[in-house]
Amino acid sequence: MRQARRFPCRPDSVPRARNFVRDALSAQPRAIVEAAELMTSELATNSVRHAHSDFELAILLSQDEIRVEVSDTGHGQPRPRSPTTREQSGRGLQIVLKLSDAWGVTPSVNGKLVWFSLPASTQAGEHKSRSTASREKASEQSHQPEQSHEADLRCTHPRIAKLWRGLARESARF
């Protein structure tokens, strides 16, 4: 199954793209949807902020895999950065790198396509059980600041929770 939609180069397209993903993946486990929404938000933001381009968001759902693609007319090769704690941006592709099963960039004559993949619901039980264990462990250690942030977000995806804890530790060094 493939669903696609074009979005204009405007900041309000980013939350609309997230909503499109949430609706398209509504039958998937919450942890998978949360990860897909977050990564889509990062790629859509890159299209608006860096490519200064309208973008097309496509979701390809097979029995085993969810693939999300964001195409824009911007040129250049997106690469993950390693921003310092003082930099306010530059973490988007690091988030995609850490949360996705795979990701990549396909250049085209008209721009580029940036994609990521996640397991579909046939494998989602594994993610769900890890997520439940992560929440249980977090509640046991709720005295730690980064754990309380995780609970506030009600995050169910274990990779998002781990990423959030890392960002909380990084910001605590300021």
As a whole number, the mean pLDDT across the chain is: 77
Same domain, 87 and 153: no
Instruction: Please tell me the total count of domains within the chain.
Output: 2
Q: Is the pLDDT of residue 118 over 80?
A: yes
Last residue of a domain, one of 122, 146, 162: 122
Predicted confidence at residue 122, as pLDDT, reads: 52
Same domain, 103 and 43: yes
Same domain, 99 and 16: yes
Same domain, 34 and 63: yes
Predicted confidence at residue 168, as pLDDT, reads: 52
Last residue of a domain, one of 82, 106, 122: 122
Same domain, 17 and 76: yes
Same domain, 74 and 130: no
Report yes or no: 112 and 74 within 8 Å, Cβ to Cβ. Answer: yes
Number of neighbouring beta carbons within 10 Å of residue 79: 7
Same domain, 8 and 90: yes
Gyration radius of the chain over CA positions: 16
Same domain, 151 and 78: no
Same domain, 32 and 113: yes
The tokens of 66 are what? 């969810």
Same domain, 14 and 100: yes
Last residue of a domain, one of 106, 122, 138: 122
136 compared with 86, residue with greater pLDDT = 86
Same domain, 74 and 155: no
d(CA 111, CA 77): 10
145 compared with 75, residue with greater pLDDT = 75
**What is the helix (H) or strand (E) element at residue 161, kind and residue range?**
helix 158-172
Helix axes 158-172, 145-153, angle to 10 degrees: 140
Around 152, how many Cα atoms within 13 Å sit in the side-chain half-sphere?
A: 9
Report yes or no: 62 and 20 within 8 Å, Cβ to Cβ. Answer: no
d(CA 112, CA 100): 19
Same domain, 130 and 80: no
> Residue 136 belongs to what domain range?
124-172
Q: Is the pLDDT of residue 153 over 70?
A: no
CATH number at residue 78: 3.30.565.10
Please state, for a pLDDT cut of 70, what percent of the chain lies above it: 64
126 compared with 49, residue with greater pLDDT = 49
The tokens of 69 are what? 């693609």
